[in-house]
Amino acid sequence: MRLENKKVIQLVSSEFEDLELWYPVLRLQEEGATVHIAGEKANETYIGKYGVPVTSDFAFADISPEEYDAILVPGGWSPDKLRRYPEVLEMVRYMDKHEKPIGQICHAGWVLISAGILKGRNVTSTPGIKDDMTNAGAIWHDVAVITDGHIVSSRRPPDLPQYAKEFADLLAGME
């Protein structure tokens, strides 16, 4: 239970990649972390690309990022929606400024691009947004997972075991 006292925000909007949201949530909970699901509205059910639902615990506006140790951004088509919320971008910028773990997988890089935090950072993503990532100033790598400081990024669902472990390891090592 090495993550017993850790609190994590898992962002959500409709059409998230089902595994990319649920796998890290369950992995962190297995190690004792508290994971709160944050969406546009509290107690709203969002449906993933393949039909798996998740219900938000809080609305974005109700989240105080200083109360959390880390944030996760799922992939799928959800990031294209998430990056349109000023509260989401502020949460990501807060986590970046305070060097708290930020997890991004697949298309989640779009949120970090919109938050303006990728310049000079080593990252990966789905190859489909490689140009978006590099145009934002990131140094893109075609690897399963890469950690640059407090940002952990991954490409796609087959990389989830490595991604979730790397994120959990980073979170466990944070004071």
175 has a pLDDT exceeding 80: no
Per DSSP, 144 falls in state S
The torsion region of residue 163 among left (phi > 0), alpha (psi -120 to 50) and beta comes to alpha
pLDDT category at 65 given cuts 50, 70, 90 is very high
Residue position matching structure tokens 């807060």: 94
81 has a pLDDT exceeding 90: yes
Residue-wise pLDDT for 6-18, tens only, equals: 999 999 999 999 9
Which residue stretches of the chain are H helix?
18-30, 78-82, 86-97, 109-115, 130-135, 160-172
Answer yes or no: are the C-beta atoms of 29 and 1 closer than 8 Å. Answer: no
Mean of the pLDDT values across residues 53-66?
Answer: 98
Range of the domain at 131: 7-173
Answer yes or no: are the C-beta atoms of 12 and 85 closer than 8 Å. Answer: no
Residue position matching structure tokens 């017993």: 4
97 burial type by CB count under 10 A (0-12 exposed, 13-18 middle, 19+ buried): exposed
Distance CA 36, CA 125 (A): 24
Percent of the chain clearing pLDDT 90 (strictly above)? 98
Q: Say whether pTM exceeds 0.95.
A: yes
**Would you state the pLDDT for residue 94?**
98
Mean of the pLDDT values across residues 42-67?
Answer: 97
Please indicate, yes or no, if residue 2 is contained in any of the structural domains.
no
Distance CA 111, CA 85 (A): 10
Please indicate, yes or no, if residue 18 is contained in any of the structural domains.
yes
Please indicate, yes or no, if residue 1 is contained in any of the structural domains.
no
Please indicate, yes or no, if residue 107 is contained in any of the structural domains.
yes
Residue-wise pLDDT for 151-162, tens only, equals: 999 999 999 999
Total number of domains in the chain:
1
For residue 32, the SS3 value is: coil
Whether 141 is catalytic is no
68 has a pLDDT exceeding 80: yes
Residue-wise pLDDT for 100-148, tens only, equals: 999 999 999 999 999 999 999 999 999 999 999 999 999 999 999 999 9
Per DSSP, 46 falls in state E
CATH number of 128's domain:
3.40.50.880
Distance CA 14, CA 8 (A): 20
71 backbone dihedrals φ, ψ, rounded to 5°: -140, 145
pLDDT category at 174 given cuts 50, 70, 90 is confident
Please indicate, yes or no, if residue 89 is contained in any of the structural domains.
yes
Whether 98 is catalytic is no
